[in-house]
Amino acid sequence: MSAASITPELVAHLVQTAELAVDLAKKAGADDAEVIVRDGSELTAKIRLGEPELLQEASSRGLGLRVFKDGRRAVTYTSDLRRASLEAFAIETVELAQLSEPDELNKLPDPSELARTLPDLDLYDDHVARVDAAWALAQCKAGEKAALAHDKRVTNSEGATWSRTLGATAFATSGGFAGGYRGSYASFVVEPLCDDPSDPENPKKRNGFWWTANRFLDELDDAEAVGIEATRRTVATLGARKIATQECAVVFDPECGRSIVGTVFSVANGSAFWRKSSYLIGREGTLVASELVTIEDDPLIPRAPGSKPFDGDGLPTRKNVVVDRGVLRPVLCDVYSGRKLGRPSTGSAGRGIGGNPGPTTSNLIMRPGASTKDQILKQTGRGLYVTSMMGFGFNPVTGDFSRGAQGFWIEGGELTFPVSEITISCNFDELLKRIDAVGDDLDLRSSTACPTFRVSAMTVAGTDAEA
Amino acid sequence: MPTLVPAPLGAPFSQGGENAIDSVLATRLLSEALSAGGDYADLYFEYRVTADYSYEEEQVKTVGRGVSLGLGVRVTKGDATGYAYTEDLSWERMAHAARTAGQIAAGGGAPAPVDANPIHIPDLYPVAAPSIGTSAQEKLALLRTADAAARGYDKRIAKVEASFVEQIKEVLVVTSDGRWARDVQPLLRFGVRAVAEVDGGARRQAGSSGGGGRYGMDYFAQASKDAAAHGREAARIAIAMLDAKDAPAGEMPVVLASGDSGILLHEAVGHGLEADFNRKQTSNYSGQIGKQVASTLCTVVDDGTVPSSRGTINVDDEGFASKTNVLIENGILVGYMHDRLSAKHFGIEPTGNGRRESFRAMPLPRMTNTQLLGGSSSPDEIIASVKRGVYAKRFSGGQVNISNGDFVFSLTESYLIEDGKITAPLKGVNLIGNGPDVLRKVDMLGNDYELSDGIWTCGKDGQSVPVGVGTPTVRISKITVGGTKA
């Protein structure tokens, strides 16, 4: 076992620290208290053009405290976990709570709702912990070398990076919850670069990347295969150009389609609802997307990147269907937003070290359909295939959606030339309803995921129509 | 022992503190860092206390405080960097971090660290009393004032959120080549968001306004920057946008309002001129020094010395005093923004742009306050010159692809220009362009240069730092507007 390993004993120790801090807050006069403790370590190794560029290795820990006193609250964090420091920290936090105003809905969950037994979701692989800097650098070297060798149009590199994070989370509340878990995550990315002289007035570079990630070391893709795929994707963008402004079908590659799925959550959660920051308010139980669309949030998938055994309120986690064949189900809530809306939590609370709980996602997944990506392209005939999006053009209150995009033009059911410097726009309500094909190619490298899917029509803004 | 209430405001690593660092201890640590070899090492001590207050539903909803303390150690050998950090300032943990950072350099000799001497740094944000040490009641009163002003603006305002976030950060940089720099950096940010509602919620719109910088509570004494003004402005935008129409799609002239529009500059040229990308030849501006990269009207300056601005720093996170750096002069590219590594690569003096998010991250070349200097046209004349186009007033942010130069820029308040007049408000829309191409199409500049209020945060490689931007009214002869009306 290496020094980086997170042992069950360490998790137990962090749970004890969390319980100690809860006790200290109660002793300082809090009616209730809730404590989260995180301990984690990271290793990042990067090779660029065959030489080491970065080696970063460190561990850190932090503690977040939330206290309740006479209906008032305060939230604080510290990285100093010594007992004497925690005593002073607890006293100051209770004093701070006097500044807030009573909110009868903001209190700990009823003890009967708390998680009693925690599922083992198999989230930690000690092989990831045992990776040392030399091995990680060797992976980078091999992946980048394969990328550079695969196509001579690759003239430069933004490097190859191997990273791991190991973490333990412990949570305790005066309501009676105490628990913790550990997790590992490893990722590897290769970023080749090409010179693109196709516009002599404005010489450009074209970058691209490909990646692999998993909680388990032996599930990572081979470093050379990642490098070769990165190069294939990068050289394909050479000569990318603008297209004319028009309305057309848009097919989303899963790499960027998942940000559409994430956008659904941003307007389908209890916090956005009570803050009047969602165009979906009042739409639960009705059709808000095409019947081909089913989106689930599932924290209980073994080994998946977003899985967790309990939520940020200490409630058991569970699978929630967010959109069921186009129908919006009850939106994801933590305890507080649920109370604001007069309903129970969906077990979806997230909790950072320095903040209040709020609704979050675990593994948010658009369910796959029956078509292959190639079948979808063939059926499309003519349109835009989008591989990446840029910018923040979404207004949750109205659903107005407009983002920068890159990809390929589809003609005769096949990808033809690369496209860049365009935007795609459509009100989000329409966008979801216009999804008319969903692929079978779901993969779970990331905690928000989807297969290839198609929107029947969006506005593409590019050059003047007559150009 | 770090405490939530920093009184007196002194970091544990400062003179008299619990973990006081002196030059003898620093030299010993730097020797540990260079014990395996390497060209250079530095220590970055950081102590940060933050506080936040939020007000919603006419109630103080959250009150938060946090403290973080740590040391980051860096060792470089050629272009390679080793980095490690610790939150525990005991000798044993600091020395462990120093040796971990040094593993990158395994093999070969290293220069002995030179005894560090304090460098001269300016005082660009003199704050008599940092806000974080002053009465919380005063801040809560500001939130109430902003809330009341937003609600009072129009009865269609259905929801208001106001927030106040403040921090004080003390940093100490000690380098193996003999620099010692200490700085205390205050920062505050005030923000209001309002939602307007009509027809019982059938139609809603949101607006926001905020500001701040490296000020004490004196920020709010400035004209048009008081709490009520931000409340009214958030409400004004929400109400104005209720009648927003579908934005056009396609290429057309765009007029950018002064101030916040500087984020277009930040994306279109700023990032591409950060020298790490140019050292590695990964930016579309690589190898373009001395060439025409913008219209001759454009002079672009990154200035870390603007008094009290959000992006200002007395000293950067590598121990170099901040400077005024001209990047583009009359359209010609004249310089990049550097950190220590890139300055060494290009054989020039560092420009004071080496910044980092915290002790947990290595420094990178970053912008401070990026500005397009003013021109000679009046703003009215610029708007009047456009037959059909878009007037862009407020933004939620932008993003750029460093390699090909494509950038986007998201508008939250914009209007159609028809026959030289500002007419209908437009729904949220993106502009997309290519950096050098768009800067060559800047064909009118206003005489109304304005620095943005202190709200912007820039992200790069997962690190966020506060920045400022500034610009006069700008006309771009043609850029793609990403609306839905083809």
Chain B contact present for A63, CB below 8 A: no
Q: Which residues pair with B455 in a beta bridge?
A: none
> A207–B432: do the CB atoms touch at under 8 Å?
no
Which value, in Å, is the radius of gyration of the alpha carbons in chain A?
A: 24
| Token pair of B267 as six digits | 């994306």
> B83–A58: do the CB atoms touch at under 8 Å?
yes
| Token pair of B311 as six digits | 């992006």
> What digits encode the pLDDT tens for the residues A269-309?
999 999 999 999 999 999 999 999 999 999 999 999 999 99
Chain B contact present for A206, CB below 8 A: yes
| Residue B2, pLDDT score | 41
> B250–A93: do the CB atoms touch at under 8 Å?
no
| Residue B9, pLDDT score | 60
Closest to B442 (Cα-Cα) out of B303, B301, B315, B264: B264
Chain B contact present for A24, CB below 8 A: no
| Residue B16, pLDDT score | 87
Element (H, E) at B451: strand B450-451
| Residue A203, pLDDT score | 85
Rounded distance between C-alpha atoms, residue A355 and residue A34, angstroms: 12
Reported ipTM: 0.94
Q: Which residue of B has its CA nearest to A85?
A: B1
Q: Which residue of B has its CA nearest to A430?
A: B484
Instruction: Read off the pLDDT of each residue in A251-269 and give the average, rounded to a whole number.
Output: 97
* Residue listed under structure tokens 């919006």: A328
B82-to-A214, B34, B40, B99 alpha-carbon distances in Å: 25, 11, 11, 10
> B206–A395: do the CB atoms touch at under 8 Å?
yes
| Token pair of B401 as six digits | 């692809």
Angle A323-A329-A332 from CA coordinates, rounded to 5°? 95
Q: Which of A61, A206, A282 sits opposite B403 (nearest CB)?
A: A206
Chain B contact present for A30, CB below 8 A: no
Element (H, E) at A39: strand A32-48
Q: Which of A78, A390, A400 sits opposite B67 (nearest CB)?
A: A78
Rounded distance between C-alpha atoms, residue A100 and residue B52, angstroms: 11
Rounded distance between C-alpha atoms, residue B462 and residue A165, angstroms: 15
At residue A222 the predicted structure's pLDDT band, cuts being 50, 70 and 90, is very high
| Residue B1, pLDDT score | 38
Distance of CA B202 to the CA centre of its chain: 37
Angle A445-A206-A407 from CA coordinates, rounded to 5°? 60
Instruction: Report DSSP letters for A365-409, one per residue.
Output: EEPP-SB-HHHHHHHH-SEEEEEEEES--B-TTT--BEEEEEEEE
> What digits encode the pLDDT tens for the residues B420-457?
999 999 998 999 999 999 999 999 999 999 999 999 99
Q: B42-72: buried (b, 16+ CB within 10 Å) or exposed (e) per residue? A: bbbbbbbbbbbbbbbeeebbbbbbbbbbbbb
The residue among A202, A271, A403, A419 with the most chain B CBs within 10 A of its CB, best to mutate, is A202
Q: Collect the ranges in chain B with pLDDT lower than 70.
A: 1-9
Rounded distance between C-alpha atoms, residue B16 and residue A119, angstroms: 50
Element (H, E) at A461: strand A453-461
Q: Which residue of B has its CA nearest to A96?
A: B63
Tell me the nearest-neighbour CA distance from B202 into chain A, angstroms. 9
Rounded distance between C-alpha atoms, residue A33 and residue B168, angstroms: 27
Element (H, E) at A458: strand A453-461
Tell me the nearest-neighbour CA distance from A79 into chain B, angstroms. 6
| Residue B224, pLDDT score | 81
Contacts of A460 in chain B (CB under 8 A): 249
pTM reported for the whole predicted model: 0.95
Chain A residues 134-193 with CB within 8 Å of chain B: 156, 158, 193
> What digits encode the pLDDT tens for the residues B314-336?
999 999 999 999 999 999 999 99
Instruction: Read off the pLDDT of each residue in A341-359 and give the average, rounded to a whole number.
Output: 95
Q: Which of B4, B201, B249 sits opposite A461 (nearest CB)?
A: B249
At residue A3 the predicted structure's pLDDT band, cuts being 50, 70 and 90, is low
The residue among B13, B104, B208 with the most chain A CBs within 10 A of its CB, best to mutate, is B104
Chain B contact present for A403, CB below 8 A: yes
* Residue listed under structure tokens 């768009």: B438
Rounded distance between C-alpha atoms, residue A343 and residue A330, angstroms: 10
Rounded distance between C-alpha atoms, residue A96 and residue B152, angstroms: 30
Q: Which of B64, B100, B205 sits opposite A76 (nearest CB)?
A: B64
Rounded distance between C-alpha atoms, residue B471 and residue B473, angstroms: 7
> B482–A103: do the CB atoms touch at under 8 Å?
no
Check pLDDT > 90 for residue A4. no
Sign of CA dihedral B215, B219, B225, B229: positive
> What digits encode the pLDDT tens for the residues A9-67?
999 999 999 999 999 999 999 999 999 999 999 999 999 999 999 999 999 999 999 99
Rounded distance between C-alpha atoms, residue B450 and residue B448, angstroms: 6
Contacts of B486 in chain A (CB under 8 A): 245-247, 459, 461, 465
A397-to-A267, A275, B201, B241, B426 alpha-carbon distances in Å: 8, 10, 11, 11, 15
Q: Which residue of B has its CA nearest to A340?
A: B57
Are A288 and A327 in contact by the 8 Å Cβ rule? The answer is: yes
Chain A residues 264-323 with CB within 8 Å of chain B: 275-277, 279, 281-282
Chain B contact present for A242, CB below 8 A: yes
At residue A313 the predicted structure's pLDDT band, cuts being 50, 70 and 90, is very high
Q: Which residue of A has its CA nearest to B396?
A: A392
Rounded distance between C-alpha atoms, residue B319 and residue B194, angstroms: 41
> A423–B482: do the CB atoms touch at under 8 Å?
yes
Instruction: Report DSSP letters for B331-344, one per residue.
Output: TEE---B--HHHHH
| Residue B8, pLDDT score | 44
